[in-house]
Amino acid sequence: MARGVRKSIEEKIADKQEVIDALEIRILKEKEELQMLVNEQRMARLESLEELIDSSNLSIEEVSEILRQHIDEEEAVEV
């Protein structure tokens, strides 16, 4: 059974480089999409936190102080 014309080593190298280049471009695009999704998730969390703060009728300063106290208590327990 005839196989056809065999590729030279140079052609094989060029083909492989094309594949690698295409994959690198794809990786960059996927990383961009991932970063967009991470940013979207971060914004959703911030919006949720903002809603919680708004519904608590506390000021940002009061919420910050409560969180600082909680963190200090947690750190004291760990030591």
d(CA 38, CA 70): 27
CB 56 within 8 A of CB 63: yes
This model's pTM is above 0.75: no
- Counting as low any pLDDT under 70, the low residues of the chain are 1-3, 79
Per-residue model confidence (pLDDT) at position 5: 80
Q: What is the 3-state secondary structure (H, E, C) of the chain?
A: CCCCCCCCHHHHHHHHHHHHHHHHHHHHHHHHHHHHHHHHHHHHHHHHHHHHHHHHCCCHHHHHHHHHHHHHHHHHHHC
Q: What is the pLDDT of residue 2?
A: 56
